[in-house]
Every structure is written in structure tokens, then in C-alpha cells.
Amino acid sequence: MKRDILEEDKERRNADRESLKRARRKVERLERERDDAIRESTRSQVILDRQASEISSLRNLAKTLKDTRLENMAEMKHLYEQNKALEQDLQMVNAKLHREREQRQADRRLLATRAKELHETEVFLTKADQFSGAEVKAMVQGLNTEILQLAADIIDIVQIEDSAMEVDGDKRLTGQHAIHGRMMQLLQTRDDPDMHATVIQAALQGVLTRLCRQIISEWSQHSSTDNDLHDIYRDIRKEYADNHAVAGRWRSMTRERSKYGMVTETEENFYSRITEAVLNVLRIAGWSPADAKNILMQTFGKRVSAIVKAAMKLDRAIGEGITSQDLMVYTAHFDDHFDSNRMVDAYGNQTADGDAVACTCELGLKASDGSNILLKTGIVLCSAFLT
């Protein structure tokens, strides 16, 4: 029984030891768990502290960002207002720049226009004469030669009848307008055939030279236009008295259009007037066949054409080709007193100044102001017909 008790006691002690071991193991486990929990708690605290620090930092950052945002918003508002003001300034500058560009473009266009005008004016003012005075003088002499040749050919070919003059009233007036009364009497006096032929030739030359002078002086075939252009040119010459090139170029361009815009028409007009002038003289002298005009044109048409061409060439040279000065052809007037400074006796006689002029037989050439005579006008004196 004692043994049983001891066995039981031993079993209890063993059971207690086992329980103690289990308790120790449990304590150790719990201690380990405690230590782990402590360590975990420590780690958690560290994490919490770090997170708290981060939160604090984030809060500070958020506050800083908020303050910065407020500052930025204030600055943005200021910049917006400043930008708006700058945009307004820019619009004003752009508008001003646009106006300036338009002004520059207008200035460039004006400059181009002025440059063109200056160039045209320079060309207008500096165009050199196309002919020299000597060349124009030679043209006058050539025209005088053609007139002389026609008059001489007519005297050689045409048979003047010793009969009463039969001239229509209008044609007679035209002839009387070009022929002085003394020459009219001589033309109608047929007592001396040789003298009559001399008178006819002189009268033909006189009528043709005066007609050519008139033709060359004209600006237009239409009298009203001719008078208007004469007046305008006179005024232009007065206005530009110190710069004759301006008036000269205006004359050149105007006559080119007003007188020679249609060359053929002008040439036909000259031809008709010269033919009529010759017919008038011959009718007064006593030559009046039924078909006088056709006979004259068939026989002397080429000679008349030569005079027309020579007159037109001279006319265009004086009117268009020379701009630096005004040249003009001139004749003497009936009954003028002989002036050796302006005239030359066509018959070459030694003549004293003062003898009366019967007619002009050669065109002269001079400056329009009379300052320079390039070619004296040839005349026939009344004394040449005295017997």
C-alpha cells in the first residue's frame, strides 16, 4: 500500500514535473511572444513615429503648398493683369505698326511714282536736239531748191496764153491774198514775154515760200485748234523762259500728235494747198485750160510731192527735232525795205538798203526771237522788173 502511495506520489511528481516543464515551455513561449510583441510594438512605434513625422512633414508641406498656391494665385492675378495690359499695349503697337507699314508702303509707292516722274522729267528735259542748226539750214536750202525747180519747170513747159484772165471770184481772192497788187499788175502785163516769164517764176516762188512758211508755222490743220495751241505755247514759253527745254519738249510732243498724228492726211492737205496756190498764180497770169488742175498734177505732180516732203521734213525737224531753242522760217513782207542784215537779193545785184521788196523767193531761217539768223531770206526787188 505504501508502495502504491509512493507510486502515486512518484507519478504525481512526474506529472508535476511534466506540468512544470509545460508551464516553463509555455512561459518561455509567452516570453518569446512577449519579446516579439515588444519588438513588434517597438517597430510599430518607430513606424508610427516615422509616419507621424511624415504626416507632420506633409502637413507642413501642405501648408507651404497652400501658402505657395495663394502666392502663386496672387502672382498669377498680377501677371494676368500685367499680361492684359501688355496685350493692350501690343494691340496699340500693332495698330501703330500697321499704320506705319501702310505709310511706308504709301511712301514707297509715292517714291516710285516720283522716281518715275523724275526719270520722265529728266528724259523730258535732257533730250538732245536731233538736228544741228547747220542740218536745218540745209533742209531750208533744199526746200528752196525744190520750189525754184518747180517754178522753173513750169516756166519751161507751160504755155501762157495772151488772153484775158478767167478766175473765179473766190480763187482770185485767194491769189490776191498771196500776191501783192504790184505783182498782180506785173502778172497781168504780157507785153514782154521774157519779163512776164520772170515775173511768173518770181510770183510762183513767192506764193510757195509764203505758203510753206504758213504751213510750217501751223500746229494743226484746224484753225481753231491751231490758234489755241499757239496761245498755249506762248504762255508756256513765258512761264519757262529760264528753261526752254520744257517748252521745247512740250512743243515737240504736241506737234507730233496735233499735226502729224495722221501723216498721210497731213501730206494730202499740204499737196492740195500747194497745188491750188500754183493754179491761182497761173490763172492770174493767163493760163486757164479747162482741166488745169489735172494737167498740173500729171505734169508736175512729182515736183509738188518733192516740195511737200521737203516741207514736212523741215517742219518736223523744227517743230519736233529741236527742243533747245525755237527756230522759224521767215519771209519778207511786200514793200519792205531791203535790209541786208535779214535779206539777200536772189538775183545777186549789188543793192543798197532801202529798195522795196516785190516778193520773197527763198525761205530764211532764224531763231524765233530774232537773235540769230542762220539763213537770210531771198527776195526779188521791185527794181528787178523795171525796164
Q: How confident is the model at residue 179 (pLDDT cuts 50, 70, 90)?
A: confident
| Nearest residue to 385 (alpha-carbon basis) of 230, 237, 189 | 189
What pLDDT score was predicted for residue 146?
A: 97
What's the confidence (pLDDT) of residue 169? 39
The band of 21, judged by pLDDT with boundaries at 50, 70 and 90, is: confident
What confidence tier does 363 reach under pLDDT thresholds 50, 70, 90? very high
Confidence label for 311 from pLDDT (cuts 50, 70 and 90): very high
Higher pLDDT, 370 or 157: 157
Q: What is the mean pLDDT of residues 353-372?
A: 86
pLDDT band at 300 (very low <50, low <70, confident <90, very high): very high
Q: What's the confidence (pLDDT) of residue 167? A: 47
pTM for this structure?
Answer: 0.67
pLDDT tens per residue across span 204-225: 999 999 999 999 999 988 888 8
Binned at pLDDT 50, 70 and 90, residue 150 comes out as: very high
Q: Residues 317-324: what's their mean pLDDT?
A: 90
Query: pLDDT tens for residues 58-110?
Result: 888 888 888 888 888 888 888 888 888 988 998 999 999 899 899 989 888 98
CA 136 → CA 298, 301, 353, distances in Å?
Answer: 31, 25, 28
CB atoms within 10 A of CB 269: 16
Query: What mean pLDDT value characterizes the chain?
Result: 84
pLDDT at 172: 43
**Residue-wise pLDDT tens digits, 260-270:** 888 899 999 99
Q: What is the pLDDT of residue 209?
A: 96
Residue 173: pLDDT band (50, 70, 90) is: very low
H helix or E strand, kind and range, residue 358 = strand 357-362
Residue 226 burial (10 A CB sphere; 0-12, 13-18, 19+): middle
Q: Residue 186: name the closest of 322, 85, 284 by CA.
A: 284
